[in-house]
Structure 1
Amino acid sequence: MADRIGTPHPLSEPGLWVEQTGGRVFPPRSPALFLDRDGTVNVDTDYPSDPAEIELRPQMLPVIAAANRAGIPVVVVTNQSGIARGYFGWDVFAKVNARVLELLDGQGVFVDMVLACAYHEAGVGPLAVADHPMRKPNPGMLTEGGRRLDLDLQRSLIVGDKLADMQAGQRAGLSQGWLVDGEAAVQPRFAIRRLHDDHDVGGLLAAIETLGRERGA
């Protein structure tokens, strides 16, 4: 992980981090599993900035593993307003990001791309942008990941712990998402599934496995 931290930050613009974290190549128009990070992949410690405090949420490990087995790209999309607010910089984000990936690797699972948006209306300098198209609930990070990996967004899934994650998925053209500790809801052309217990996780695993079978058909 030290090499990842030591390389120049993969910023495509001042407030957008786009990092392809693995060398896997996917067929054109593959569906993806989009994941929020803080509160979904790892425990949210309120603007996580200390790599030593990062703790994975066990619930997500079988989900990521299922996507890995099915050949489904796993794409993390995370808002990082702490950078805009000046709480920490991209250097700290890089270390925390590397720690998350390291812990996932230690559990035998991995993600294929990480996108992070640091724009926020309460930011300073070039990061002070209200309602930036890359910041969830806007769909920019999902569509950017879709463009770079040539994804089929309509068949893709999203998991997050906030309604903004679900709204980003809906606006990007996805048809369903799973809301951690939230409630199910059906909206126009988009279904929110709840993600509370093992039964709910089983439903998400089944959806991923279905995508894998369709991909191999």
Structure 2
Amino acid sequence: MTPHPLQEPGLWVQRIGGRVFPQGMPALFLDRDGTINIDTGYPDDPAGIALRAHISPVIAAANHAGIPVVIVTNQSGIARGYFGWDEFSAVNGRVLDLLGREGASVDMVLACAYHENGIGPLAIADHPMRKPNPGMLLEAARRLDIDAPRSLIVGDKPADMEAGRRAGLAQGWLVDGEPSRQGDFAISSLRDRSDFDSLLGAIAALGAAPGQA
């Protein structure tokens, strides 16, 4: 079995594929459960994974635009002892496989398993890598030399949007949420086809923009 890409007991950082990106590119950050796949609570069974509608074309659009795609996911189920990194790996592999079947790919996956109600070394409150803290986004930005202020995040919880804001991103799309603004950080709703079209347009604009100022 391939060793899990753990940087520490509660932090998974996996570089996927060999795509090379120019310095200073923006990225598309996405939460996983409830954003890419239908949220089933604490997903630990690959057989129960299904993608949300319309999300694969969003990721594929970023692929075609040459923009890194990064998953940033909290996994408190691991901290609480509901399942382990083996189950996470199997579920995540299923998510990536389903995306691949629809012509979409991910370049990096980061997962944080720290939680205040965790067990043993995973019992850490307000860990810097756990959203709404921006640690996972900042770590991906460092590793891929991402231009955070031009990057986008898609998520289904306010914590995803707050992590994006704290990481210095300019825009977020909140699944089934309401449009709002937090300082310079703009949140758009992601409910219907017109919202997805707006997100696709924002990704296309990033791909058309120069990678360096």
Secondary structure of the corresponding residue to residue 12 of structure 2: strand
**Paired residues, what number?**
212
Amino acid across the alignment from 2:157: K
Aligned to 1:8: 3
Unaligned runs of 5+ in 1: 1-5
**Aligned residues: percent identity?**
70
Aligned to 1:79: 74
The partner residue of 2:197 within 198, 202, 205 is: 202
Aligned to 2:143: 148
State how far apart, in whole Å, the 2-side matches of 1:104 and 1:148 are.
Answer: 23
TM-score (norm 1): 0.96
Aligned to 2:54: 59
Contact kept, 8 Å, 2:23 with 2:211, in 1: the verdict is no
Secondary structure of the corresponding residue to residue 201 of structure 1: helix
Aligned to 1:19: 14
Alpha-carbon deviation of 1:215?
3.4
Amino acid across the alignment from 2:38: V
Contact kept, 8 Å, 2:24 with 2:211, in 1: the verdict is no
Alpha-carbon deviation of 1:96?
0.5
Secondary structure of the corresponding residue to residue 29 of structure 1: coil
Matched, 1:126 2:121: yes
Aligned to 1:160: 155
Specify which structure has the higher proportion of helix: 1
Unaligned runs of 5+ in 2: none
State how far apart, in whole Å, the 1-side matches of 2:18 and 2:2 are.
Answer: 17
Amino acid across the alignment from 2:42: Y
The partner residue of 1:213 within 192, 208, 213 is: 208
Alpha-carbon deviation of 1:133?
0.3
TM-score (norm 2): 0.98
Q: Which runs of 4+ in 1 moved over 3 A?
A: none
Matched, 1:36 2:31: yes
State how far apart, in whole Å, the 2-side matches of 1:100 and 1:124 are.
Answer: 26
Matched, 1:189 2:177: no
Aligned to 1:3: none
